Amino acid sequence: MASIRDVARKANVGPATVSRVLNNSGYVSEETRRKIEDAMRELNYTPNELARNLFHKKSGIIAILVPSVSHPFFAELVKCVETELYARGYKTMLCDTFREKNSEQEYLDMLNRNIVDGIITGVHSLRIEEYTKIDKPIVAFDRCLGENIPLVRVDHALGGRMAAKLLLASGCKDVIQFQGAKSVRSPSDIRHIEFERVMKENNAKVTSVELMWNRFDSEYFSEVTEQTMREHPDIDGVFGADLLAVYCMKAAIAQGRQIPGDLKLVAYDGTYVTDAVTPGITSIVQPIPLIARELAGLLHDMIEQRPIPQREKLMNVSIRYGNTTIGKN
């Protein structure tokens, strides 16, 4: 394998001149540049990307931190973010924090050491102080990590109200909602608060089922929904993230309940799984491609040291009607 010294000898220049061409730094005449480029082609020389990145203090790599890539929402988000980053010249390093206890901290350390150029994070197992003490490009999704870290999220309050109105319009009076662990605060908490408020204002009963922290696997979702449906045989409505709604519907059908006659369901996220089942589930849809574009764009601007005039980007949700509710509201 040819080295930089081999290229220098072939072009009859010094290694430092070859280095300036490779790093596009300092003056090199056009004639000398052509000689060096010709020598690299003849020798089939491949530049040491790691060395170049260390020189420029950029790796061209972005770390994406998500709780679990097996979760349909995060799987779609990662796919879209990766596409957006690639279009901006970056490669992606994926961090699934579901099983690795210290992985979130390790990726922050990688950012401090310039191994990655920036982080897009949708997890928060560390204290906020661990993020705020880092003066490097970080963008958060659905996690408030301090005033200096841009946040992208949807209008969860609107989503909660929409879900409640859909179930109320379908005649629901006794509903279950599944919500994340209360020990972890997130902007998404407001959707459950708004959902419960609207339902109770309309004299409907709401039972909230709190999920375990950092459990996103199908086995757990299947177990918790089956137990919930056994313990609450008289409920007439369900509100929860996509997989929870799917498994609730599965458990209800196994009990001989009719959908939407006996039980109405509204899912939150609106990923492919709500269309992949029969009947299709009415969903509050988060605009994942638009979220990904905002996350990638904000991080790119931070890396390029462009001003970020808006520290929080709020995006709307929408309704996609399926066959698990009655009528349109």
Asked if residue 248 has pLDDT above 80, the reply is: yes
Q: Which amino acid is at 221?
A: F
Q: Tokens for 175, please give them.
A: 């509903």
Residues facing residue 61 across a β-bridge = 91
Q: How far apart are CA 184 and CA 323, in angstroms?
A: 33
Residue 68 pLDDT: 85
Q: Are 111 and 119 in contact (CB under 8 A)?
A: yes
> Order of strands, edge to edge, in the sheet holding 138-141?
91-96, 61-66, 118-121, 138-141, 151-154, 312-315
Residues 6+ apart with CB under 8 A from 143: 121, 122, 123, 124, 151, 186, 187
Domain residue extents for the chain: 4-56, 61-154+289-315, 156-286
What is the distance between the alpha carbons of residues 321 and 327, in angstroms, rounded to a whole number?
Answer: 9
Please write the tens of the pLDDT for every residue from 28-84. 888 998 998 898 888 888 776 555 555 556 778 998 999 888 889 999 999 999 999
Distance CA 297, CA 268 (A): 25
Q: Is 304 exposed, middle or buried (0-12, 13-18, 19+ CB in 10 A)?
A: exposed
More confident residue, 289 or 29: 289
Mean pLDDT for 73-98 is 91
Question: CA–CA separation, 30 vs 271, rounded Å?
Answer: 53
**Is residue 98 very low, low, confident or very high in pLDDT (cuts 50, 70, 90)?**
low
Mean pLDDT, rounded, of the chain = 88
Residue 171 tokens read as 């005649």
In terms of residues, how long is the chain?
Answer: 329
Q: For domain 61-154+289-315, which CATH number applies: 3.40.50.150, 3.40.50.300, 3.40.50.720, 3.40.50.2300?
A: 3.40.50.2300
Q: pLDDT tens digit string along 122-173?
A: 886 767 777 777 888 999 999 888 888 999 999 999 999 999 999 999 999 9
- Check: CATH 3.30.2450.30 for 4-56? no
| Identical topology for domains 4-56 and 61-154+289-315 | no
Tell me the pLDDT band of 329, cut-offs 50, 70 and 90: very low
Range scoring the smallest mean pLDDT among 178-182, 234-238, 281-285:
178-182
* CA-only gyration radius of the chain, Å: 26
Q: Which residues of 134-166 are buried (b: 16+ CB within 10 A; e: fewer)?
A: beebbbbbbbebeeebbbbbbbbbbbbbbbbbb
In 88-217, which ranges are continuous DSSP H helix? Answer: 103-112, 128-132, 156-169, 189-201
Any idea what the Cα angle at residue 93 is, between residues 242 and 143, rounded to 5°?
50
CATH code: domain 156-286 is: 3.40.50.2300
Query: Whole-angstrom Cα distance, residue 149 to residue 122?
Result: 12
Q: Is this structure's pTM higher than 0.75?
A: yes
Whether 23 has a pLDDT exceeding 60, the answer reads yes
Cβ contact 204:173 at 8 Å? yes
Average pLDDT over residues 264-288: 96
Distance CA 117, CA 122 (A): 17
Cα distance between residue 188 and residue 185, in whole Å: 8
Lowest mean pLDDT among 63-77, 94-108, 293-307: 94-108
